[in-house]
Structure 1
Amino acid sequence: MSVYWDLKHRLGVAVNDHDLRKVLDCYQPDAVYVTPAGIAEGHEQIAWLHNQFLRGFPDFHMTAWFELGDCDNPTVTEWTYTGTHLGPFLLPDGQEIAATGRRIAIRATCNAHVTDGRISSHREYYDQLELYSQLGYGLVERGRLPA
């Protein structure tokens, strides 16, 4: 594997260890991180996005099950994200979902572009409806159907 993949693997370990310092060490200071939850630019915003997820899912874990081996830059990985919803989780509209105790297992994919030994652009994709459905929510909150 290449230095690009070594970096991507270090990032995966850092996320699974919930070590934000090591996560940020993988990114350029002005990196752009695009997720379904929003766009983060720079270390401060990237750390904030990661913190929001780890706060809601303190046992969050990523398991890689496919890596596009004949592509170095960008690195492309498919994952399964798992965790237990034990803390507040911020929704895109600014509301927080209180802990439900529910387990999640969602499919995700991402690609990371590396410049000068660090990630400069990282795009992550997962189905928010799949996530919210596993937390007991769907297109509308249960019990609050439109009139």
Structure 2
Amino acid sequence: MGQAREVLDKLTETAIERHDIDAAVDLYTDDAVVMTPDAGPVRGREKIAEYWHQFIDAFPDSHYETIAKLETDGRAVDEGYFIGTNTGTMTTPSGERIEATGKQVKLRSCDIATVENGKITEHHLYFDESEFMRQMGLNA
């Protein structure tokens, strides 16, 4: 197993399984960027922590179900499902607050992390926003 695979596995473990955002953010470089479908590029550890908190705080029972893992040339790729029950308030990237719906989501996602010297420099996160909102019961 290479360094990229180890770091992305540790990110999944710390952020989604253990809900330890501080430990998860330590896996990123100071100037890392996370490319997201809902907030666009999120730059720097402080903003990345805020982004992670919006999900983990809203889904405190979250976990990740892996479908596939790949690694090549300093990049690790995960495909799987983010699963959790929305029991906490969520703040969207636009600042809108969404009160807990009590709905469980099973959201298919893909992560691609570029790792250099044991830290994530770039992280691309893909998920279907409309499917997420539908599962939350927030759109028709």
- Whether the aligned pair in 2 keeps the contact of 1:5 and 1:72 (CA below 8 Å) is no
Q: Which has the higher contact order (CA 8 A, sep 6+)?
A: 2
> Which residue in 1 is equivalent to 2:7?
7
The verdict on how the C-alpha distance between 1:92 and 1:30 changes in structure 2, with shifts beyond 3 A counting, is closer
- Whether the aligned pair in 1 keeps the contact of 2:54 and 2:92 (CA below 8 Å) is no
Runs of 4+ in 1 over 3 A off after TM superposition: none
The verdict on how the C-alpha distance between 1:23 and 1:92 changes in structure 2, with shifts beyond 3 A counting, is closer
Bigger proportion of residues as strand: 2
Equivalent of 1:42 in 41, 44, 49:
44
The verdict on how the C-alpha distance between 1:82 and 1:93 changes in structure 2, with shifts beyond 3 A counting, is same
Matched pairs, number: 138
Superposed displacement of residue 37, structure 1: 2.4
| CA deviations over 1:57-108 (Å, ceiling 9, x no partner) | 1112122220125x24211110100011111122344322211111000100
The alignment's TM-score, normalised by the length of structure 2, stands at 0.91
The verdict on how the C-alpha distance between 1:13 and 1:95 changes in structure 2, with shifts beyond 3 A counting, is same
SS in structure 2 opposite 1:62? strand
Equivalent of 1:62 in 55, 61, 64:
64
Structure 2, unaligned runs of 5 or more: none
Superposed displacement of residue 43, structure 1: 0.7
The alignment's TM-score, normalised by the length of structure 1, stands at 0.87
The verdict on how the C-alpha distance between 1:72 and 1:17 changes in structure 2, with shifts beyond 3 A counting, is farther
Q: Residue type of the partner of 2:68? A: F
> Which residue in 1 is equivalent to 2:27?
26
SS in structure 1 opposite 2:57? helix
Report the identity percentage.
33
The verdict on how the C-alpha distance between 1:96 and 1:54 changes in structure 2, with shifts beyond 3 A counting, is same
SS in structure 2 opposite 1:124? strand
Q: Residue type of the partner of 1:14? A: T
Structure whose alpha-carbon radius of gyration is higher: 1
For 1:93 and 1:42, locate their aligned partners in 2 and report how far apart those are by CA, in whole Å. Answer: 18
